Homo-oligomer: A and B are copies of this chain.
Amino acid sequence: MKLISRNTDYAVRAVCYIARQDKSIVSVAELVKALEIPRPFLRKILQVLNKKRILISNKGSGGGFKLARKVDKIFLTELMEAFQGPFKLNECTFKKDLCPNRKFCWLKNKIDIIEDTVLSELSTMTIDSILKEK
């Protein structure tokens, strides 16, 4: 069970890299070279980031990607949700589909609490805070 999947991980690195550059716009070519991530895979990732408006893409010659916002406004949870879907540590499917016990199930309730804890820990983490420690 991993909290951060590969594409989230790559996405974090890519966004951090872009944030560290002086020039605001960075091409895939440069990112591939710097991060050693397979090019087509990275492209797919960047396209998602663009759609989610975390990065903004510029097409055409001299194009590339730039941050859509300041680094302290880009949250790790956004990246995680973009690639790993919304947080649901739980989702009991006892007896197919959504379990009738859900409302009263102690196990589920406990896990919901854990989910909240994790989420609140994660929600303090921005690209800014990650960069500051490097």
A side interface size, CB within 8 A = 41
* Given A3-B89, A9-B92; A114-B121 close (CB under 8 Å): yes
Residues of B within 8 A of A115 (CB): 3
A contact set with B: CB distance below 8 Å: 1-6, 9, 12-13, 36, 76, 84-85, 87-95, 104-107, 110-111, 113-115, 117-118, 121-122, 125, 129-130, 132-134
Which of B94, B122, B133 interacts with A114 by CB under 8 Å? B122
Q: Is B1 in contact with A114, judged by CB distance below 8 angstroms?
A: no
Distance from A129 Cβ to chain B, minimum over Cβ atoms (Å): 7
* Given A90-B4, A107-B12; A118-B129 close (CB under 8 Å): no
Can you name 12 A-B pairs with beta carbons within 8 Å? A1-B84, A4-B107, A4-B111, A9-B92, A13-B94, A106-B130, A106-B132, A106-B133, A107-B125, A107-B130, A117-B118, A117-B121
